[in-house]
Amino acid sequence: MSASAAMQEYLAEAYRIAYYQGDNPYISTSALATALGHSAPAITRMVQRLKEAGYVEHEPYRGISLTTAGEREALLNIRRHRLVEVFLVKVMGFGWHEVHDQADELGEVVSDTVVARMEHMADFPRRCPHGEPIPTAEGHMPRVVDFPLSEAPVDVDYVISRVNTHAAEMLAYIGQIGLLPGTRFRLLSRAPFNGPLQLAIGDVKQVIGHELAGVLRVCHPDQFDLR
């Protein structure tokens, strides 16, 4: 049974959740419901369909985990989505805060041939506009080593690795203050009790709040390039 667009959407979101969890492969149905904005009964029905199709395994009190077939379908969906995002930004001139929903819609209808041409026209990107890694056509997901800026030690140089939000207003603001993926900066200070952080981007100093720092994932400069 081939995965429908709706099934691929669920599988891709489950993969994203597990990816951020590190060593824990189990995804709770409540986390999936929150990420997708669907009701608990809808999640339960889809999980049952995915299980019957061989895409997930379900363990009571632990959650679901993707099978090899489920992971393959998830990576195909994620690759298509992220390549469409890059194409919309680099080739068509959309803002990075505008493309997530557009890529969801286009990803359901574009063929693999069109996606391959988009990849070529965008100069074979390794990350999407938000810094997320793009799986290869063979189904390999590059591993990213990063952590939230809100947890980073001070007086150290970092690079923005990924931005973990789809909120358009927040993305637009992050772009305005120059904290796009690939931007190098130094973390100068962090106020106690979840207070603001002060950064230096070149000669420009910038102050951001703890909430914003939590969605900015950073790495050391020599860890930004994907392998």
How high is the pLDDT of residue 22? Answer: 76
Q: Which residue has the higher pLDDT, 84 or 107?
A: 84
Residue 79 has pLDDT above 80, yes or no: yes
Q: According to CATH, where is 1.10.10.10 located in the chain?
A: 1-141
Q: If you average pLDDT over residues 53-62, what whole number do you get?
A: 91
Q: For residue 66, give the H/E element and its range.
A: strand 63-66
Residue 142 has pLDDT above 80, yes or no: yes
Q: What is the pLDDT of residues 120-130, one digit of tens each?
A: 999 999 999 99
Residue 1 has pLDDT above 80, yes or no: no
Burial tier of 134 (Cβ tally within 10 Å: 0-12, 13-18, 19+)? buried
Residue 174 has pLDDT above 90, yes or no: yes
Which 8-state DSSP code applies to residue 183?
A: -
- For residue 152, give every residue at least 6 positions away whose Cβ sits within 8 Å of its Cβ, in sequence order, or none: 158, 187, 218
Distance CA 153, CA 200 (A): 14
Residue 23 has pLDDT above 90, yes or no: no
- Count of beta carbons in the 10 Å neighbourhood of residue 157: 12
Q: If you average pLDDT over residues 45-66, what whole number do you get?
A: 93
Q: What is the pLDDT of residues 90-141, one digit of tens each?
A: 999 999 999 999 998 998 889 989 999 999 999 999 999 999 999 999 989 9
Which residue's structure tokens are 């077939």? 69
The CATH homologous superfamily to which domain 147-223 belongs is Ferrous iron transport protein A (FeoA) (2.30.30.90)
Distance CA 65, CA 15 (A): 9
No. of helices (H) and no. of strands (E), the chain? 8, 8
Residue 163 has pLDDT above 70, yes or no: yes
Q: According to CATH, where is 2.30.30.90 located in the chain?
A: 147-223
- The architecture that CATH gives domain 1-141 is Orthogonal Bundle (1.10)
Q: Which two tokens stand for residue 104?
A: 């969801």
Could you tell me the pLDDT band of residue 10, with boundaries at 50, 70 and 90?
Answer: very high
Q: If you average pLDDT over residues 156-185, what whole number do you get?
A: 96
Percent share of the chain, pLDDT over 70: 99
Instruction: Describe the chain by its helix, strand, coil percentages, rounded to 5.
Output: 45, 20, 35
How high is the pLDDT of residue 41? Answer: 92
Nearest to 78 by CA among 13, 34, 20, 144: 13
Distance CA 63, CA 54 (A): 15
